[in-house]
Amino acid sequence: MLFQVEMTVKLPPDMPAERAAEIKATEKAYSQELQRAGKWRHLWRVAGSYSNVSIFDVDDNAELQDLVSNLPLFPYMAISVTPLCRHPSSVRDDDR
């Protein structure tokens, strides 16, 4: 199942810079692991904000919940999820 996930990060202003850097590094490693596994298919930065738009390819809602809730930045995110399905006019073969 494909899902569009929009994430906006809102770190506390009083979070120490070292702690923020540590969380971001762990987040990057985890997100890259999911990308290599094919679960996090696309990742785009939203220009001008600390946000992204991503496409996840997972088995079901529960798997998406598990992956997203394990993001190190999850406690500091506003998240919006939209389920997707293949458009009949698409010319791509791999957009299930």
pLDDT digits (tens, 9 = 90+) for 2-15: 999 999 999 999 99
pTM for the predicted model, two decimal places: 0.90
| Domain ranges across the chain | 2-84
Cβ neighbours of residue 96 closer than 8 Å, sequence gap 6 or more: 2, 57, 86
**Cα 90 from chain centroid (whole Å):** 24
- Range 59-87 average pLDDT: 96
* CATH no. of 2-84: 3.30.70.1060
pLDDT digits (tens, 9 = 90+) for 15-67: 999 999 999 999 999 999 999 999 999 999 999 999 999 999 999 999 999 99
Looking at the predicted structure, is the pLDDT value of residue 77 above 70?
yes
Q: What's the rounded Cα separation, in Å, for the pair 77 and 47?
A: 17
Q: What's the rounded Cα separation, in Å, for the pair 46 and 43?
A: 10
